[in-house]
Amino acid sequence: MNTIRLENTSAGHNKFYEFVGVKAPGRFTVKGLYGRIGQSPNESIIYDGDDVNEANSQFYKKMAEKEKKGYKVVSNNGKPATPATEEKKTLLRLFQ
């Protein structure tokens, strides 16, 4: 399971969006956990299917939507994000 967390604390916002990639035999699921920081998350399924490329594509699409709204990557698999991680989006893959 891979996790990438984004947060938006600009302009009075206090929100997070967390991507969770779950791999099972022949199956790839991308979940989105979101809400206010410090509150219980809501959950949505972004992709659930057997195509790893489509799973990553849907992840990147949703991530781009969040970045346009001001979200920034704060952690990648539990490790704090670095400026290099921000610049090298190819490192941010839910499924290898």
pLDDT of residue 34: 98
Predicted local distance difference test score (pLDDT) of residue 18 = 95
d(CA 48, CA 14): 28
Q: Which residue has the tokens 């998350």?
A: 41
**What gap in Å lies between CA 84 and CA 12, rounded to an integer?**
27
**pTM reported for the whole predicted model:** 0.84
Q: Hey, what domains does the chain have and what are their CATH numbers? A: 2-91 (2.20.140.10)
**Which residues, in sequence order, are bridge partners of residue 7?**
16, 72
Residue 89 is predicted with a pLDDT of: 53
- The closest of 49, 21, 19 to 32, measured between CA atoms, is 19
From the list 32, 37, 76, the residue with the least C-alpha distance to 55 is 32
Question: What is the reported pLDDT for 38?
Answer: 95
Mean pLDDT of successive 10-residue stretches along the chain, which has 96 residues: 91 94 94 96 97 92 93 87 57 64
